Every structure is written in C-alpha cells, then in structure tokens.
Structure 1
Amino acid sequence: MRGQVLGVDTRTGEGLVAGDDGNRYRFTPEDWAQRGEPAIGIKVDFEASGERALSVFPMPDTAGHRPVVAPPPHVPANDRSKIVAALLAFFLGTLGIHRFYLGRTGSGIAMLVLSITVIGLLVTGPWALIDMVRYLVMSDEEFALRYRRKG
C-alpha cells in the first residue's frame, strides 16, 4: 500500500502514515526499512497489518522532499560530568573520591583503604592519574553510557 508520513516522534522514532485507503497506520523504528529516519510529508510504500505499517520504504523523490534524513547523533543523558570526575581524580584521586562520584563504590573504598599506607599511596596515585586521563580522552557518549546512574 502507499501513503504519506504524517508525523514522527523524534524521541522514540515512532510515526504515523496516512494510507491511500484513508486509514492511518502506526510504525516503529524497526518498521522503517531504510537507512536514516522518516521525514514528515514523504510518500512511502508499506505493508498494512491491522493498524500497523510494516516494512515502510520511502518512495522516489517526486515532490521535492528528501526521502531519508540522517539521524542526529544520540548522546545518552548523564547527570555526571567527565570534567568534574577528572578534577576529582587529579586533586583527591588517591582517596578514591572520583570513584565514589561515578558510582564505583567498591573501587572507591579500595582506594580509600589503600591510601592509609605509603605503599598504598604509590598504588593509588598512578591509578588516579590513569583514571583522570581516561576520563578526559573518553568520548562523551562512552562516558555517559559507562557512568550513567542506574535506575
């Protein structure tokens, strides 16, 4: 069946197609059978199954619309800053404070206990320095995925 995309939720990727039969059909990102994202107003070809549009393909460009729009880069939301984590690792790293900040309580306790002795400081000092460098060179996406708050 053929139709036209009426709307797309940019957060979820779910959309609505007006079929040539006068009915409306919902689709999910998994139903979109092309690279990129659907755009409002483009003509599509799809299989109708109840109120769902399956295997949605953009039709060749006939009305000046771009059939496929590249998706924007997705950066997961994060309530922690890699700059703050790096600064904590630099200034208070031997005590493991940066680990507590990032929710890594177990290794934070280990660093805190190790820092009681001089030998432990020789271990936690380089450990904190390596952590600081890792945070700074890590991409924002990787940092957000690795250190986001659970639950």
Structure 2
Amino acid sequence: MRGQVLGVDRTSGEGQISGEDGHRYSFRPGDWSGDKGPAVGARVDFATEGARALRIFRLPDSDTASVAHRPVAANDRNKYVAALLAFFLGTLGIHRFYLGRNGTGVLMIVISITFVGLIVTGLWALIDTVRYLIMSDAEFEHRYARRYAG
C-alpha cells in the first residue's frame, strides 16, 4: 500500500502514516527498510498488519514531495494584534513581548522612564505599527513565528 507520513516523534521515532485507503497506520523505527528514515510529508510504500505499517520504504519522488506539500505551521501570533498593541501600548513595549522579543520589550520599558524616553519609544512604536501593517503575511510568519524545540 502507499501513503504519506503524517508525523514522527523525534524522541521515540514512532509516528503515523495516512494510507491511500483512508486509514491511519502507526509505525516504530524498526519498521523502516532502506537507508532513508521517516520525514513528515514523505510518500511511502508499506505493508500492513492490522493498524500497523511494516516494511516501510520511501518512494523516490518523496524527497521533492515532502518539501513541496509540507503544510505551513500555523502562527499563533497575529500582525494586526501586534499593530494594535504597538499603537496603544507601544511605549511600554507590550507588542515586543507579544512577538517574543523580550529583550527589546524590557529596553522599551526602561527607556520609557524619562520624558525624552517616552518620545523615543513612542516614535519606535509608531514605526513598528506601520511596519507590521505593511508587512506581508509570509514575512510576518517568517520573522515572528514561534519556534518550538522538538
């Protein structure tokens, strides 16, 4: 049977394959044959035993297919929320904390202690607001997507 790798646990090496028959099959690291192991999105050929995939081989075209058809991870950060935070609470750097830029968020709070600092962080926040609004969604995703260690 043929299918596609849905996911792989990096620690244990176990994962799931979606078969062309519409069912999902689990696998373990020892179920793989050949020199290439599992990769999310890879097209595979495998035998089944119940709900388990055995003797799994990656198909030759799976290297390009896994890159081209890999789903884009959803970003839990929104550029419009960041722009609103920058506009209304920007002098305190709240938008920077929201985007995971804690160092510059703390810097903005420290600078805001003085009157001149408020002017500087106000301009900084206004520039950030405009930048977020004109930035493409793809660029925002690239810069501010949360990176999970796995």
TM-score tier after normalising by the smaller chain length: 0.5 to 0.7
Select which of 4, 7, 17 maps to 1:8: 4
Q: How does 1:1-151 map to 2 (within 5 A)?
A: 6-9=2-5, 12-17=40-45, 26-27=57-58, 31-32=60-61, 37=65, 71=68, 74-151=71-148
CA distance in 1, matches of 2:69, 2:42: 15
SS in 1 for 2:3: strand
Decide whether the 8 Å contact of 1:82 with 1:136 is kept in 2: yes
TM-score calculated relative to the size of structure 1: 0.57
- The total of aligned residue pairs comes to 109
CA distance in 1, matches of 2:131, 2:121: 15
SS in 2 for 1:16: strand
Return 5+ residue gaps in structure 2 as ranges: 8-39, 47-54
Partner deviation per Cα, 1:98-119 (whole Å, 9 max, x = no partner): 0111111110111111112121
Structure with higher Rg: it is 1
Decide whether the 8 Å contact of 1:75 with 1:141 is kept in 2: no
Return 5+ residue gaps in structure 1 as ranges: 19-23, 39-70
Structure with the larger helix share: 2
Q: CA RMSD in A?
A: 3.1
SS in 2 for 1:143: helix
Partner deviation per Cα, 1:62-94 (whole Å, 9 max, x = no partner): xxxxxxxxx458533221111111100000111
Fraction of identical pairs, as percent: 55
CA distance in 1, matches of 2:126, 2:87: 6
User: Counterpart of 1:134 in structure 2: which amino acid?
Assistant: R
